[in-house]
Structure 1
Amino acid sequence: MHALQLLQPGPISTDPLELVERRTPEPRPGEVLIEVSACAVCRTDLQLVEGDLAARRLPIVPGHQVVGIVRQLGEAVGADLGVAEGDRVGIAWIGGACGACEHCRAGRENLCPHAAFTGWDRDGGYAEYVTADARYVHQLPDGFADRHAAPLLCGGAIGYRSLRVAEVQPGQRIGLYGFGASATVAIQVAVAWGCEVYVATRSESERQRALSLGAIWAGSYDEAPPAELHSAITFAPVGSVVVDALRSVGPGGNVTINAIHLDRIPQFPYDLLWMERSIRSVANVTRRDVRELLELAAALPIETQTVDYPLLGAGQALADLADGRVSGAAVLTAAGASG
């Protein structure tokens, strides 16, 4: 099979991804082999490839928003796991956890110290085939083309988890700071919950997109929303945006940071934090997050805006993402992918 592997991180302009020919992997006990139909490209992939996110192992095949068809079952994959050959499934960022630590027992496998992540600890979807732990694959609802389902598996799921971590309640006023692929899913869920959504982002086209998806106000980072917010979620990997968001939340409110990598948060006066305001972070996702979002996505339905690239065109997709040329989610698609 063909795959794109990372041997040595470096600027995306230096083409650090290498096209290689590998043997198609054999699923180990408890795993399944999946033929990749689509794989969405995430800013986390870019941070890994360029070295901002330290590699866990090298070489590694990135890609953690994978849609494909189950082609082979490993030993010990029985009907009780709910997966069979021919199923259309998705693989998300979380690819395994110990199941025994206090976090796993509490349903917070995203915090497991032994968690394994797709495209970071184990090879991901920048390839024609990938293996996955059968317990961590997700059945995909009908009605979603492969390329529209893929962005839900990380960007969408982490946007949904951000709403949960921020404890967003129906009817509240919430702010979204930054408006990439993750935020476009979060706003659709929040609007469906009857929330008033205020969006701050640097791009006029993103502001117009936010308004079209139901935001009642869209402005720039240095503009104050016209109403005090119950909570704000930051999607931009820029520390100063956290302070902008904190200025906009009222007493008892929170700012939730949706970023695996963030530059320095500037010093700010304690007055901004006083009155029981809080700052929280979102770390990874759980299988529950992915399942619930997929159910919501089918019921609402959720719209995903995609830009398509060939399956082995990740280098160009990442370069376009780095340069801000992607409106929506970049998705690698194989010939014959649905939709």
Structure 2
Amino acid sequence: MSDPSPTFDIPKECWGGVVKNEGPDFYVEVEKVPVPEIGPHDVLLKLNATGLCLSDVHFMVGDWALPKMSEMGTKCAGHEGAGVIVKVGEQVKTLKVGQRAGFKPIQDVCHNCEYCKTGKEQYCSKAVLTGGQTDGSYKQYVVSPENYTTVIPEGISDYVAGPVMCSAATVYTSIKESQLRPGQYAVFPGGGGGVGIQGVQLASAMGLRPIVVDSGEDKKKLALSLGAEHFIDFKEGDPVKRVVELTEGGAHGVQAYPIAPSYLGARVGGIVMCIGLPPSGKFHIDVDPGALAFRNQAIKGTLVSSLADVDETLDFAKRGLLKLEPTVVGLSKFNESVQKLKNGQVAGRIVVDFNMP
């Protein structure tokens, strides 16, 4: 006989980090919010942890060309959740109560369009953005559709699995789509931050040679300990000149920043990968078409990850090739932590544990 599924007492209310004063001076207040009802094809997740991502801040500030959270009926941002399935809808066939699962930047897609059918469902025009168009992982209990739920394998802590849902998987997809080959140089401006430091580890595990451009001893120590071949402090001289010297001609690939194309130097076939989403209308990249033509260079963007790429990223974590030692805080530090993120004062990642006061 198979083991009976565990049972969970599901409360009527749960904790949520609710956005207040939406806009440039927003803050997050922890308060009781209703536990949502699920439909026949959904599961209810009880989240143990949520990563804090800069995209959350953009949603709460409202500086993207999207409707405001409040206009979409959303109170809680967040899209890096990890927890356990505590209830399944009556039509759910493949998931069980007690399984560990994650909550991603996209809550659901249409499953029928060209992109959904070709493994690029993150570009579905009907994709529901978690923490923007529907309550996100700043809420302890969330609804996830069965056919868009990611199962978390055993052996990965919630503190690592939560950030995999967005930051690690997003940078993994970007590295894959850059088509860089083992032995080539990948430059990560801001690589000491939460997204970059996971990119450095994944790039290293995939056989690339990561170079981090950032500033400060903490970030230097972290980057070099997790696979960066070089750390260039941008406050100590010209980082572009140093990159071109170290790579003997220019990087093969670089994560985007306004000056990113210059890191490619004269490298034939070099590519700039755009994954960060700045405020609408900010940080345009100035490109010389001559350099693109003469040196066969390219600029390409990727959004978040497909279901398949999230699973592949979790597998790196399961094999111990993706480590994250985030700063873990309890509910009482929710707003303080989000404000630190907004102000660029975070090395690595912050994770909020719903089970800590």
Q: Same fold (TM over 0.5)?
A: yes
Question: What secondary structure is seen at the aligned counterpart in 1 of 2:270?
Answer: strand
Structure 1 residue aligned with 2:340: 320
Structure 2 residue aligned with 1:242: 260
For the pair 1:296 / 2:316, whether they are aligned, the reply is yes
Per-residue displacement from partner, 1:53-86 (whole Å, max 9, x unpaired)?
Answer: 33351333111111111111112111xx3x2101
**Aligned residue identity for 1:113:** S
Structure 2 residue aligned with 1:174: 186
Structure 2 residue aligned with 1:105: 117
Which runs of structure 2 are paired with 1:117-266 in the superposition (5 Å)?
117-179=129-191, 180-221=193-234, 222-223=238-239, 224=241, 225=243, 226-227=246-247, 228-234=250-256, 239-245=257-263, 247-248=264-265, 250-261=267-278, 263-266=282-285
d(CA) in 1 for partners of 2:117, 2:287: 37
Shift of 1:212: 1.8
8 Å Cα contact 1:177/1:241 also seen in 2? no
Per-residue displacement from partner, 1:26-65 (whole Å, max 9, x unpaired)?
Answer: 1112111111100111000011111123335133311111
Question: What secondary structure is seen at the aligned counterpart in 2 of 1:130?
Answer: strand
Structure 1 residue aligned with 2:75: 60
Structure 1 residue aligned with 2:11: none
8 Å Cα contact 2:51/2:162 also seen in 1? yes
Structure 1 unaligned blocks of 5 or more: none
Structure 2 unaligned blocks of 5 or more: 1-13
d(CA) in 1 for partners of 2:266, 2:40: 49
Structure 2 residue aligned with 1:46: 57
Shift of 1:249: 6.1
Per-residue displacement from partner, 1:274-315 (whole Å, max 9, x unpaired)?
Answer: 322010111121111100000111113311020112246432
Please report the RMSD computed on the Cα atoms of aligned residues, expressed in angstroms: 2.1
Shift of 1:171: 2.0
CA gap of 1:194–1:320, structure 2 versus 1, over 3 A, is same
Per-residue displacement from partner, 1:136-179 (whole Å, max 9, x unpaired)?
Answer: 22221222222222111111111111101211222222211221
**Aligned residue identity for 1:260:** L
Per-residue displacement from partner, 1:250-270 (whole Å, max 9, x unpaired)?
Answer: 111111011122623253433
Shift of 1:336: 6.9
d(CA) in 2 for partners of 1:212, 1:29: 47
**Length, aligned pairs only:** 327
For the pair 1:269 / 2:288, whether they are aligned, the reply is yes
Question: What secondary structure is seen at the aligned counterpart in 2 of 1:144?
Answer: coil
Which of the residues 99, 116, 125 maps onto 1:87?
Answer: 99
Whose Rg is larger?
A: 2
CA gap of 1:63–1:93, structure 2 versus 1, over 3 A, is same
d(CA) in 2 for partners of 1:306, 1:116: 27
CA gap of 1:2–1:248, structure 2 versus 1, over 3 A, is same
8 Å Cα contact 1:6/1:58 also seen in 2? no
Shift of 1:117: 2.0
CA gap of 1:307–1:72, structure 2 versus 1, over 3 A, is same
8 Å Cα contact 2:49/2:162 also seen in 1? yes
Shift of 1:193: 2.3
d(CA) in 2 for partners of 1:203, 1:249: 29
- Matched-pair identity in %: 25
CA gap of 1:18–1:311, structure 2 versus 1, over 3 A, is closer
Structure 2 residue aligned with 1:308: 328
d(CA) in 1 for partners of 2:182, 2:146: 35
For the pair 1:332 / 2:349, whether they are aligned, the reply is no
**Aligned residue identity for 2:260:** V
**Aligned residue identity for 1:25:** P
d(CA) in 1 for partners of 2:222, 2:259: 20
Which runs of structure 2 are paired with 1:8-47 in the superposition (5 Å)?
8-12=21-25, 14-15=26-27, 17-47=28-58
Shift of 1:181: 1.3
**Aligned residue identity for 1:257:** C
Q: TM-score, normalised by structure 1?
A: 0.89
8 Å Cα contact 1:37/1:336 also seen in 2? no
Moved more, 36-45 or 291-300: 291-300
8 Å Cα contact 1:126/1:312 also seen in 2? no
Q: TM-score, normalised by structure 2?
A: 0.85
CA gap of 1:205–1:7, structure 2 versus 1, over 3 A, is closer
d(CA) in 2 for partners of 1:214, 1:20: 40
Structure 2 residue aligned with 1:285: 305
8 Å Cα contact 2:201/2:321 also seen in 1? no
Structure 1 residue aligned with 2:91: 76
d(CA) in 2 for partners of 1:76, 1:8: 39
Shift of 1:216: 1.9
